[in-house]
Amino acid sequence: MIRSVPRSRVFNSLYLLYLLAFFIYLALPLLVTAVFAFNDSNFPSLPWQGFTVDWYFANAAESGNRTGLFHDQGLLSALWVSVLVAFWVTVISVALGCVNAVLFERIEFRGKEVLYLVMLLPLVIPGVILGVSILVFYSGLANEVSLRWGIELDLFRPGLPLVIGGQVAFITTLSTLIIAARLRKFDPQLEEAALNLGATPIVAWFTVTLPWLLPAIFGAAAMAFLMSFENFNTTVMLTGSDTPLTVALFNRLREGSTPVLNAVALLLMAVSALLAMATLRRSQ
């Protein structure tokens, strides 16, 4: 099936047809979501009623009964919550990822193999389970403390700190893998040269090793931000009164869908596409 291996014409055209069908299948749901964000109808379905930007800019207080995304306080605050959570998850998991990468790539110690396997564990735990176990542990702890000593540990009740913790639990593994892969390709002689030239280990780390790692660190940060922003399974178990965007959208969706959801979806697609493009460009 390699190019040099002769194939029948029928096989070839069938293969191309399959390829075409596959990419249509990939694109179709996203395409309709994007298109219906501009349909001048109260439902995201046919018939097409004409083009409108109401689902972004309409203000129910001023005119009509439509509330566009940019006037929808509920969605805007959920968006803000998501950005806040994603920011902290990115900072914590990338920092942890750097430390872990150095630990596993540069240091020799007993039990390293076992710890490496433990480090991979969060990847094979379903997100919902990760969420409920953290809920059980920390909320249980808060209940216990409150019962015994009357101290309220609100930090451990469902809310943003727990959401951040739950996401950090598995995103750290991913950022560790990304940064460790880059560190593995680093030539330690470069660092030794810096030390020979009189740099202290810390100076050598910041002037030689860290710049080498930067592309991976940016890649890991973009990945962490996107993963955090999109996460639902772990988040939904840990969220309190401030709901991040995915959970807010899910709740809206169950009440019934309006094109404002399409508007949000398109915005999300655009922003994550930009972020992904920026990382791809950097890594090339």
Q: Does 261 bind other proteins (CB under 8 A)?
A: yes
Choose, by CB under 8 A, the member of 23, 57, 80, 206 that binds other proteins: 23
Q: Mask: binding to other proteins, 24-43, rule CB under 8 A, as x and -?
A: -xxxxxxxxx--x------x
Sign of the CA dihedral with 40 first, then 41, 46, and 49 last:
negative
Shortest reach from residue 62's CB to other proteins, in Å? 28
Of 54-113, binders to other proteins (CB under 8 A) are: 95-96, 99-100, 102-103, 107, 109, 113
In angstroms, give the least distance from the CB of 194 to other proteins: 14
DSSP 141-207: HHHHHHHHH----GGGSSSHHHHHHHHHHHHHHHHHHHHHHHHHT--HHHHHHHHHTT--HHHHIII
Nearest approach, Cβ of 20 to other proteins (angstroms)? Answer: 11
Site stretch for other proteins (CB under 8 A), options 70-78, 165-173, 186-194, 213-221: 165-173
Is 140 a binding residue for other proteins by CB under 8 A? The answer is yes
Is residue 172 within the footprint of other proteins (CB under 8 A)?
Answer: yes
Cβ atoms within 10 A of the Cβ of 256, count?
8
When asked if residue 45 is in the footprint of other proteins (CB under 8 A), the reply is yes
Which SS3 state, helix, strand or coil, does residue 39 take? strand
Binding residues for other proteins, rule CB under 8 A, total 87
Cβ distance to other proteins smaller for residue 59 or 132: 132
Q: Collapse the DSSP code of 51 into the 3-class scheme (helix H, G, I; strand E, B; otherwise coil) and give the result.
A: strand
User: Residues 139, 157: contact at Cβ < 8 Å?
Assistant: yes
Give 83 or 103: the residue with its C-beta nearer to other proteins.
Answer: 103
**Is 145 one of the binding residues for other proteins (CB under 8 A)?**
no
- Pick one of 46, 76, 210, 214: the residue that binds other proteins (CB under 8 A): 46
Q: How far is the CB of 72 from other proteins (least distance, A)?
A: 16
- Phi/psi for 51 (5° steps) reads -85, 140
79 phi-psi bin (left φ>0, alpha ψ -120 to 50, beta other): alpha
The CB-of-187 to other proteins minimum distance in angstroms stands at 19
Rg (the chain; Cα; Å):
24
CA atoms of 58 and 75, how far apart (whole Å): 14
Residues 113-132 that bind other proteins (CB under 8 A): 113, 115-130, 132
Stretch that binds other proteins, among 20-28, 54-62, 73-81, 83-91 (CB under 8 A): 20-28
Amino acid in position 173: T
77/139 with CB nearer other proteins: 139
- What tokens does 191 get? 């660092």
By beta-carbon proximity to other proteins, the closer residue of 53 and 274 is 274
Beta bridge partners of 205: none
Binding segment for other proteins (CB under 8 A), chosen from 53-61, 72-80, 211-219, 230-238, is: 230-238
Distance (Å, whole) CA 229 – CA 223: 10
269 binds other proteins (CB under 8 A): yes
Q: Which of 238, 95, 277 has the alpha carbon at shortest distance from 171?
A: 95
